[in-house]
Structure 1
Amino acid sequence: MELTFYTDLGDSFQVEIDPNMELENVMALLEAESGIPVQEQSISYENRDLNNPKATMRELGVGDNAMLLLRRKVQVAGRPAEMDSEMMRLQVLGDPQLMQQLRETQPEVADAALNNPARFAEILRQTRSRQDTNAEIARLNADPYDLEAQRRIEEAIRQQAVMENLEHALEYSPESFGRVTMLYIPVEVNGYPIKAFVDSGAQQTIMSPECAESCGIMRLVDKRFQGIARGVGTAKILGRVHSAPMKVADLHLPCSFTIMEGRDVDLLFGLDMLKAHQACIDLEKNALRIQGREVQFLAEHELPDKARHMDQGTLEEGSSGPSASSPQPSGSQQPQQFPGSGNTLGAPPAPAIGRGAPAAGAATVQSRFPESDINMLMNLGASREVAISTLEAAGGNVDVAASLLF
């Protein structure tokens, strides 16, 4: 005999079977036709559920050319959430009374069930999340004197406020989630073209040693201005070039550069030169205005490769206003202070390079680590306390401790 099976979505499958075929065999045949596993099939005939897999179709009262309803069972336990929501949606579509009730009370859910499975799954996840949260809060409120329960309630409320704040930002200021590229301008130093990073948060204009070599000004470095820059991290200052020609637009400007190792940019145009040449960062026009000229900031595709590391969240030491240790002229017994040596206003002078002894009158911190290891880290710019704590974190390995300082 020939049977026709209809699904909730309007699909139909025609199978030809023997009247004495058992229901479980018919379901196995349907699995091959419809793709619905046997354990998830629910078959109805004349408003009766056929649930005896060992009974034959004749015994179940199914005659020739009969039309049967094939549904997919909703099985929540042990299944992915996406499959749960899809089975729930099919169950809703297969229940006309439930669909009518949803149209009257929750038209958005009814429309998602009919036309947008992804949206229906999202609504279902949100509903379950709210139910779980409310159940958790109710359980925690059962004992108002439980300190741990109160702490968890406070955290749940805080998380809810965070999510509301996120939703507000996504709706009213989605641009705040976009990536902001750094500000670069094309310049020339001593005739060598460079893409300079404009950073008003850096105290000094900084150049890497490699860039200084390319510009041919490394021979002009005044090594009396050596030191250690301290900001987000530490970096070694090799010295200072007091004056070199820098071309911006059609202007030829005298600039001074601090030569520093460990930079992620070739040239950082800092606040000292911005103020010296009365430059203005005009974000409305996306340009640097300097002495009546407007220099457009480079587009994202024009940025140097090193800039992409900064866009991914790498912080620059100079961006927090690095302070340099006191310069140490070679051969002198006492470090001599030079104007513009890079000391941050109000910052205590750092120990001179190569001097591991603490300042006079300062309490010496005792340590179980060798003094040679401590002095080595102090020569890299760390205080004695920081050197000891870093060695503690590194398990006494001086090489690992040195890497942690940077």
Structure 2
Amino acid sequence: MRIAFTTETGEVHNLEIDSQMELENIKALIEAEIGTAPANQILFYHGQELTDPKKTLEQYGVVQDEILLLKIRPSNNQSSSSVGTPGEYEFMRQTLLSRPDMLQQLRQNQSELANAVNDPQRFTEIIQEMAQRRHEGELQRMQQINMLNEDPYDVEKQRSIEEAIRMQNVLANFSDALEHNPESFGRVTMLYIDVEVNGHPVKAFVDSGAQATIMSPQCAESCGIMRLVDNRFAGIAKGVGTAKIIGRVHSAQIRVGTDLFLICSFTIMEGRGTDLLFGLDMLKRHQACIDLQKNALIINGKEIRFLAEHELPESARMEMDESEEHIPHNLASSSASNTESPSISSSTIVNPPSSNSSPPVSQQQSQYPDEHIQNLISMGGITRDEAIKLLDAAGGNVEIAASLLFG
């Protein structure tokens, strides 16, 4: 079952344990978690101190998702008590060796320590390192508290302490996510399917956020359908920036998957991003279903599997690799930038601007490759600042940024 314990400083730690686990073994797990020796731990449940080391949590009446209060017993030598003794470490190691359930729990929370359980010297070194890091962190917190007590009316000091507390909560949240939801830190493969247009194979990007199905002029040339472009539908797509619409192919047959043939219309738009963007108009027209459990696009009962990462267009794979290093930096900015996502609809197609007009140029510095920024500027007629904002929203992935530009 899952329980939590909170310290007097407000720190909360989660544990996955067996309800039949005895109190002394719970304290051994807590020692591995925070570095405080069992002799210095005082646990309370609903105001009652838990004193019998042989009693199980079930006997104490502790159930799923309950919270225990941990108080640290005062010690004349805080440094030595937090570090512990070799005898305590060996007792803890032997306890883990005799209790596979405890060892399994430790492996989930402290894998390095669990892997060293058969090496007494390494086991001791890891615990000492953990205890030392926690002790140094506690000293820093105490220094912050002392700074506050020196002048509680200093606005700048208050702000610094507030930020330190906020970052402590952020790091605790980050650690909790790593422990319980590690898949959220993995990169996501975009949804591509194999499509054939007029006998020409194309990898189409499935984007339910794009109102129209868009094809690049280069792809239209390769598929041999540029001769069908209706120039009366030429214009400008306006969103965060602008992009030139060459026209529209009203009807062309495409093959999706192996044996599903559909009639599709394409908006031919300039740009060097995605060759073919399979938009919401086609998804709704054919009542398609994006089934992530089956990892397939389902149309008329037929399953068209989404491509694996190694099957994506080379440009998409390269951009995924490059964007990995940008993701942590851009997590905060993505939510703000998403409010500016452009859209394409009949109302956004206007007459082309005068050839004398040109977008303003920004000198803002960016961590993204200049080639990616220039690609977005050329395909959308947007400013450098706007291109950088799109890349921020897309985590540095130019393919996603292009879909935001036209989606």
Scaled by the length of structure 1, the TM-score of the pair is 0.54
> Which residue of 2 is the match for residue 150 of structure 1?
158
Q: Does 1:140 align with 2:148?
A: yes
Please identify the structure whose Cα radius of gyration is greater. 1
Q: Does 1:200 align with 2:177?
A: no
> Which residue of 1 is the match for residue 229 of structure 2?
221
Distance in 2 of aligned mates of 1:102 and 1:251: 65
User: What is the CA-CA distance between 1:262 and the residue it aligns to?
Assistant: 2.4
Distance in 1 of aligned mates of 2:137 and 2:287: 56
Distance in 2 of aligned mates of 1:140 and 1:105: 38
> Which residue of 1 is the match for residue 122 of structure 2?
115
SS in structure 2 at match of 1:376:
coil
Give the alignment of 1:3-152 within 5 angstroms. 98-100=85-87, 114-116=121-123, 117-118=125-126, 120-152=128-160
Distance in 1 of aligned mates of 2:307 and 2:174: 31
Q: Does 1:241 align with 2:223?
A: no
> Which residue of 1 is the match for residue 283 of structure 2?
274
Distance in 2 of aligned mates of 1:289 and 1:140: 61
**1:80-100 C-alpha deviation (Å, 9 max, x unpaired):** xxxxxxxxxxxx9xxxx9534
Distance in 2 of aligned mates of 1:123 and 1:229: 59
C-alpha distance 234-118 of structure 1, shift in aligned 2 (>3 A) = farther
User: What is the CA-CA distance between 1:156 and the residue it aligns to?
Assistant: 1.1
- The residue type equivalent to 1:235 in the other structure is A
- The residue type equivalent to 1:376 in the other structure is S
Work out whether residues 240 and 382 of structure 2, in 8 Å CA contact, stay in contact via their aligned partners in 1.
Answer: no
C-alpha distance 391-185 of structure 1, shift in aligned 2 (>3 A) = closer
Distance in 2 of aligned mates of 1:151 and 1:174: 32
Q: Does 1:252 align with 2:261?
A: yes
Structure 2 residue aligned with 1:286, among 262, 286, 295?
295
Work out whether residues 212 and 259 of structure 1, in 8 Å CA contact, stay in contact via their aligned partners in 2.
Answer: yes
Please, what is the CA RMSD of the aligned residues? 3.9
C-alpha distance 265-141 of structure 1, shift in aligned 2 (>3 A) = farther
Work out whether residues 185 and 198 of structure 1, in 8 Å CA contact, stay in contact via their aligned partners in 2.
Answer: yes
> Which residue of 1 is the match for residue 353 of structure 2?
354
- The residue type equivalent to 1:354 in the other structure is P
User: What is the CA-CA distance between 1:191 and the residue it aligns to?
Assistant: 1.2
**1:312-366 C-alpha deviation (Å, 9 max, x unpaired):** 5499x99986445xxxxxxxxxxxxxxx63x35xxxx76x32248xxxxxxxxxx
Distance in 1 of aligned mates of 2:342 and 2:282: 15
Structure 2 residue aligned with 1:376, among 358, 361, 378?
358
User: What is the CA-CA distance between 1:296 and the residue it aligns to?
Assistant: 1.0
SS in structure 2 at match of 1:202:
coil
C-alpha distance 149-403 of structure 1, shift in aligned 2 (>3 A) = closer
C-alpha distance 119-256 of structure 1, shift in aligned 2 (>3 A) = farther
Work out whether residues 207 and 278 of structure 2, in 8 Å CA contact, stay in contact via their aligned partners in 1.
Answer: yes
SS in structure 1 at match of 2:147:
helix
- The residue type equivalent to 1:301 in the other structure is H
Work out whether residues 228 and 234 of structure 1, in 8 Å CA contact, stay in contact via their aligned partners in 2.
Answer: yes
SS in structure 1 at match of 2:358:
helix
> Bigger shift: 154-163 or 235-244?
235-244
- The residue type equivalent to 1:244 in the other structure is A
- The residue type equivalent to 2:305 in the other structure is Q
C-alpha distance 154-402 of structure 1, shift in aligned 2 (>3 A) = closer
Q: Indicate the structure whose relative CO is greater, using CA pairs within 8 Å and at least 6 residues apart.
A: 2
Distance in 2 of aligned mates of 1:403 and 1:178: 29
Work out whether residues 201 and 321 of structure 1, in 8 Å CA contact, stay in contact via their aligned partners in 2.
Answer: no
Distance in 2 of aligned mates of 1:319 and 1:308: 27
SS in structure 1 at match of 2:274:
coil
Work out whether residues 243 and 256 of structure 1, in 8 Å CA contact, stay in contact via their aligned partners in 2.
Answer: yes
C-alpha distance 125-235 of structure 1, shift in aligned 2 (>3 A) = farther
Distance in 2 of aligned mates of 1:182 and 1:100: 53
Distance in 2 of aligned mates of 1:261 and 1:215: 16
Distance in 2 of aligned mates of 1:321 and 1:217: 30
Work out whether residues 183 and 297 of structure 1, in 8 Å CA contact, stay in contact via their aligned partners in 2.
Answer: yes
Work out whether residues 244 and 255 of structure 1, in 8 Å CA contact, stay in contact via their aligned partners in 2.
Answer: yes
- The residue type equivalent to 2:217 in the other structure is P
Task: Count matched residues.
Answer: 257
User: What is the CA-CA distance between 1:186 and the residue it aligns to?
Assistant: 0.8
C-alpha distance 229-212 of structure 1, shift in aligned 2 (>3 A) = same
SS in structure 1 at match of 2:175:
helix
Work out whether residues 362 and 384 of structure 2, in 8 Å CA contact, stay in contact via their aligned partners in 1.
Answer: no
User: What is the CA-CA distance between 1:231 and the residue it aligns to?
Assistant: 4.4
- The residue type equivalent to 1:225 in the other structure is F
Structure 2 residue aligned with 1:306, among 309, 315, 329?
315
C-alpha distance 145-306 of structure 1, shift in aligned 2 (>3 A) = same
**1:133-187 C-alpha deviation (Å, 9 max, x unpaired):** 3312321342111111111111111111111111111111111111110111111
Which has more helix, going by share of residues? 2
- The residue type equivalent to 1:99 in the other structure is P
> Which residue of 2 is the match for residue 71 of structure 1?
none
